Amino acid sequence: MKRSEFSFKHINSAILCLIIVAGLTTSCSKAPEIIVQEMQMVLPDGQSVFKEELLPGEIADTKIEHYAFVGPIVKNFQFSNENVDMLVFIKGDAQLKADTLVFNIVPESIAIPLACKNVQLEVPDGEVLHFVRFRKKLSEQDLLDMAAFPAGNKYDVFFTKFEDCEPYTEKIKSPNTVSRTVLPADIIPRVSLGTVEAPGPDEVGAHEHGMLDQLFLGLSDNDIVVHADGASAELKAYSLLHIPLGSAHGVTVGEGKKMYYLWMDFFLTKEGQKWLKTHKPVAKDKKDY
C-alpha cells in the first residue's frame, strides 16, 4: 500500500470514530422527559360527579384517578383485598364512614381503608370535594409482608391530616423547609408519603434514588420548578408529576412563591426502603386509630 493511501484511510477512520463518539455523547446527554399532568379542577356545567385518569402507565401496577363530587351527594366505594387504595383529599370538606368509624374529611388529609373495605363519602350541600385515588396492586409478597407487620402498624382505616404528621429533616433541604412524613414505612408495603413546604426563594438539592419511582403532587398554592438531568418542568397546585426514574433531580422555588407538594415513593424492592433513613425525625408522636 502506498503511504498516501494508508494516511487517507486512517484519516477517514478517525473521522468516523469522532462521528460515532459524538453521536453516543449526544444520546447519553439527552435530558429525560418530565411527565406532568394538571387536574381539571373546574367541573363541566351541570355535572355533579367527575373522574379523570392521571399519568396512565407511569407507575407499575398503580392506577391514579382524580375524583370530584358536588354536594349534596353520598357515594359508596367497595375495595378489594388484592389492592390498596390511598385517598388523598386536596380540596373541599366531607365525611367518611367505614363500618363504625367516622372521619371528618378536610383538605390535605389522607384515608387508606385497610381492614374496612366498604367506605361511604358524604359531601354536604355547597361543597365540592376533590381527591386523588391511588390504587396499587399488591403482590403475593406484599400480602405476606402486611400480615407480618407489627400490630401497631395495622389499621382499620389509616387516616391523618398532613398538618398533624411527624416532621423530619434532610441534608438536601434548607432549615426553612418543613417536611412531614404522611405515610411511614411498613404500613403499606413499599410505599411511603410525605410533604415538603417552604417559602421562596429556596430549593431542594439535587439527589438520586434509583431504587424507587416517585411522584410529586402539587398542593395548595404550590408553584415550583422541578429539575431532572438537565430537564425542567413547572409544577403548579393540583398537578401530578413523575420524576424520571434514576435521574438526579431537585426543586427550586422563586421569590414570593411557595413550595408545597406531596411526594409519593413507590419502592421497587423492600430493601430500597432503607432510603428513608436519610429522613431524620424531629419528634415522634405516632397516631393510632
Give tens-digit pLDDT for 217-233.
Answer: 999 999 999 999 999 99
Q: Of 287, 213, 218, whose CA–CA distance to 259 is shortest?
A: 218
Position 289 confidence tier, pLDDT thresholds 50, 70, 90: very low
Predicted local confidence at residue 280, as pLDDT? 86
The shares of helix, strand and coil residues in the chain, as percent rounded to the nearest 5, are 15, 45, 35
Taking only Cα atoms into account, the Rg of the chain, rounded to an integer number of angstroms, comes to 23
Three-class SS of residue 16? Answer: helix
93 vs 214: CA distance, rounded Å: 28
205 vs 61: CA distance, rounded Å: 30
252 with 137: CB under 8 angstroms?
no
% of the chain with per-residue pLDDT over 70: 88
Residues 190-195, mean pLDDT to the nearest whole number: 96
pTM score: 0.86
Q: What is the mean pLDDT of the chain?
A: 89
CA distances from 108 to 85, 111, 144, 262, 285 (A): 16, 10, 31, 9, 19
36 with 52: CB under 8 angstroms?
no
> How long a stretch of residues is the chain?
289
Residues 192-215, mean pLDDT to the nearest whole number: 95
191 with 183: CB under 8 angstroms?
yes
210 with 266: CB under 8 angstroms?
no
For residue 241, pLDDT over 80 is answered with yes
239 vs 255: CA distance, rounded Å: 21
| β-strand pairing of 101-105 with 94-98 | antiparallel
Q: Please, which residues have CB within 8 angstroms of residue 38's CB and are 6 or more apart in sequence?
A: 236, 238, 239
Could you please report the per-residue DSSP string of 138-198? Answer: PPHHHHHHHHHS-GGG--SEEEEEGGGSEEEE-TTB-TT-EEEEEE-TTSSTTEEEEEEEE
207 with 199: CB under 8 angstroms?
no
pLDDT, tens digit, 9 for 90 and up, residues 11-28:
455 444 444 444 444 444
Residues 62-74, mean pLDDT to the nearest whole number: 98
Cell numbers 388523598: residue: 88
Predicted local confidence at residue 271, as pLDDT? 81
CA 122 to chain CA centroid, nearest Å: 26
Q: What are phi and psi of 14, to 5 degrees?
A: -65, -40
